[in-house]
Amino acid sequence: MRVGVLTGGGDCPGLNAVIRAVVRKGIKDYGYEFVGFRDGWRGPLEGDTMPLDIAAVRGILPRGGTILGSSRTNLMKIEGGVERVKDNMAGLGVDALVAIGGEDTLGVARQLHDRGVNVVGVPKTIDNDLNATDYTFGFDTAVNIAMEAIDRLHTTAESHHRALVVEVMGRHAGWIALHSGMAAGANVILIPERPFDMDVVVKHVESRFETQYAPIIVVAEGAHPKAGQLELATGETDSFGHVRLGGIGQNLAEEIERRTGKEARSVVLGHVQRGGTPTAFDRVLATRLGVNAIEAVHDKSFGKMVGLQGTDIVRVDLAEATDTLKTVPAERYEEAEVFFG
């Protein structure tokens, strides 16, 4: 059997660990051949490949990013895209695909499977918002990067007696903001799941200043205020219809400074959260997911995604994984609210 591997969407630490596990397990245990498709769904769409063998994956376990490259190509919006993928796979002798990605990449994988393509999915997103898996690799690394940055910002904020607003990633789900904010002792955490009240945010900021400490506000990029409280700009949309986010941190800092008279600054962590070497947790999870993905291919268990539930790796339908996003439940956010102010 010849198996194609691709990585789509935003990059994150742990992608190379999955590729390595898929290839090593597939070659050593099953004698499979592998071909890497470059830059997400663009690879099978255009037949752009690279060789994947044991030598190609040697030494990549600790590397961030992806040796295959990535993109946000949505082949479902390209006329004849599905047929082109099928033709290219047939021409290359590729019998099955392992697609590694988040909601958009696996959403395309699901539609391809419905149209007769043999696909197995592996969940990847630093936002941790994929359904049917407790954690996605990349999330733990992103949280640790954000936590370390917030730790450092505490000291400089207190030295200058200013409020600092830290903007982290999280379009629809506030998992990174919640976990990094709790771990680093933020005074306010704002997430997309709960529209915030600017009056309440200012109250927490002023309360913190009254104790002779400087406030730290952690905000997910997709967080938004209650209607009419703060004007937010919107940006361009990508091929999956997502608006390019960014700017909530700066808007918040300006409003806090205007209302309190205290100096406020914003820090946007942005793609720093995606880069660098993966944590031990993400390396192990990515490796386990890769091993189980190629086992699913061997069992011809197509149309499935491998995911973590408890401590076990399980197979779930791609439809179950992509129908709805996993967002922060109210009770989890309320745990963090106890420490606000």
User: What is the pLDDT, as a whole number, of residue 213?
Assistant: 84
User: What is the pLDDT, as a whole number, of residue 198?
Assistant: 95
User: What is the pLDDT, as a whole number, of residue 227?
Assistant: 80
Residue 269 pLDDT greater than 80, yes or no: yes
User: What is the pLDDT, as a whole number, of residue 191?
Assistant: 97
User: What is the pLDDT, as a whole number, of residue 341?
Assistant: 75
Among residues 237, 270, 308, 26, the alpha carbon closest in space to that of 168 is found at 270
Active-site annotation holds for 127: yes
Residue 32 pLDDT greater than 80, yes or no: yes
Residue 333 pLDDT greater than 60, yes or no: yes
Residue 75 pLDDT greater than 90, yes or no: no
Residue 270 pLDDT greater than 60, yes or no: yes
Residue 239 pLDDT greater than 60, yes or no: no
List the binding residues for substrate. 125-127, 162, 169-171, 221, 265, 271-274
Task: Report how far residue 6's alpha carbon sits from residue 67's, in angstroms, rounded to the nearest whole number.
Answer: 10
What value does the mean pLDDT take over residues 191-212? Answer: 92
Residue 244's pLDDT band, with cuts at 50, 70 and 90, is low
Residue 232 pLDDT greater than 70, yes or no: no
Among 2-11, 23-32, 36-45, 158-167, the least confident range:
158-167
Percent of the chain with pLDDT over 90: 84
Among residues 133, 147, 142, the alpha carbon closest in space to that of 273 is found at 142
User: What is the pLDDT, as a whole number, of residue 211?
Assistant: 85
User: What is the pLDDT, as a whole number, of residue 160?
Assistant: 81
What value does the mean pLDDT take over residues 283-311? Answer: 98
Among 11, 39, 104, 127, the active-site one is: 127
Residue 237's pLDDT band, with cuts at 50, 70 and 90, is low
Residue 273's pLDDT band, with cuts at 50, 70 and 90, is very high
Residue 159 pLDDT greater than 60, yes or no: yes
Residue 167 φ then ψ, to 5°? -95, 120
User: What is the pLDDT, as a whole number, of residue 77?
Assistant: 86
Residue 236's pLDDT band, with cuts at 50, 70 and 90, is low
Residue 35 φ then ψ, to 5°? -135, 135
Q: 72 or 301: whose pLDDT is higher? A: 301
Q: 98 or 338: whose pLDDT is higher? A: 98
Q: pLDDT averaged over the chain?
A: 93
User: What is the pLDDT, as a whole number, of residue 238?
Assistant: 55
pTM above 0.85, yes or no: yes
List the binding residues for Mg(2+). 103
Residue count of the chain, please give it: 341
List the binding residues. 10, 103, 125-127, 162, 169-171, 221, 265, 271-274
| Max Cα-Cα span within the chain | 69
